[in-house]
């Protein structure tokens, strides 16, 4: 009898855990549904905001000869641009003061997902070479304008 009581208690706690998990999943589901049906886009979906921050970090990295800061700017660009690129497939890309672009085709979306990381890798290598050359020669960094 004692074993049956332990089994029933274990089963009950397992049932409660399942219920709590289902409750949490349903809550997350409703949060996700609310987030996807907003009447406007959240401010962090402004692509130009992150682009300006990343460009300022890249410029600062050239000025102070910091490869780590340069890599951080590329990480920010990669993370935000790929997310915004995915959103742009459905809603267009939001460029804050100008407005939004029209949504683009799935083919353009896939090409962008391939080109973006490759382009950022080449850009990172190019600017890293500039930073290291200017650091080695003890000359002022070259600005790309």
- Residue 7 has a pLDDT of 45
Segment among 4-13, 37-46, 86-95, 111-120 with least mean pLDDT:
4-13
Q: Is pLDDT above 80 for 52?
A: yes
Tell me: do 25 and 6 sit in the same domain.
Answer: yes
110 pLDDT more than 90:
yes
Q: Give the total residue count for the chain.
A: 145
How do residues 83-108 score in pLDDT, each as one tens digit? 889 888 888 888 888 888 899 999 99
- Residue 137 pLDDT greater than 70, yes or no: no
Does the pTM surpass 0.75? The reply is no
Whose CA is closest to 70, among 124, 132, 135, 9? 124
Domain that holds residue 26: 1-37
Residue 91 shares a structural domain with residue 105: yes
Which structure tokens are listed for 31?
Answer: 């949060």
Is the pLDDT score of 20 beyond 90?
A: no
Q: Is 76 inside any structural domain?
A: yes
Does residue 14 share a domain with residue 28?
yes
Q: How many helices (H) and strands (E) would you count in the chain?
A: 4, 2
What does 12-74 look like in DSSP terms, one character per residue?
A: HHHHHHHHHHHHHHHHHHHHHHHHHT-SS--GGG-HHHHHHHHHHHHHHHHHHT-HHHHHHHH
Domain count, the chain: 2
Same domain, yes or no, for 105 and 50?
A: yes
- pLDDT tens profile 22-49: 555 556 556 556 555 656 666 677 888 8
Is residue 93 included in any domain, yes or no?
Answer: yes
Asked whether the beta carbons of 89 and 103 are under 8 A apart, the reply is yes
CA distances from 22 to 13, 15, 30, 57, 110 (A): 14, 11, 12, 43, 35
Tell whether 58 and 124 lie within a shared domain. Answer: yes
Does some domain include residue 145?
no
Query: Is 27 within a domain?
Result: yes
Distance CA 91, CA 100 (A): 8
Indicate whether 80 belongs to any domain: yes
Q: Indicate if 60 and 79 belong to the same structural domain.
A: yes
Over 50: is that where the pLDDT of 10 sits? no
Mind listing the pLDDT tens digit for each residue in 65-79? 888 888 888 888 888
Residues 115 and 68 in one domain: yes
């Amino acid at each position: 009898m004692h074993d049956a009581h332990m089994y029933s208690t274990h089963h009950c706690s397992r049932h409660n855990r399942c219920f709590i998990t289902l409750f949490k999943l349903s809550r997350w589901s409703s949060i996700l549904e609310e987030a996807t049906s907003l009447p406007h886009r959240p401010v962090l979906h402004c692509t130009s905001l992150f682009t300006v921050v990343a460009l300022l970090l890249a410029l600062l990295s050239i000025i102070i000869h910091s490869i780590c800061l340069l890599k951080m700017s590329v990480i920010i660009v990669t993370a935000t641009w790929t997310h915004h690129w995915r959103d742009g497939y459905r809603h267009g890309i939001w460029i804050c003061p100008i407005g939004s672009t029209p949504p683009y085709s799935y083919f353009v979306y896939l090409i962008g997902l391939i080109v973006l990381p490759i382009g950022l890798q080449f850009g990172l290598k190019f600017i890293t070479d500039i930073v290291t050359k200017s650091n080695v020669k003890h000359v002022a960094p070259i600005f790309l304008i």
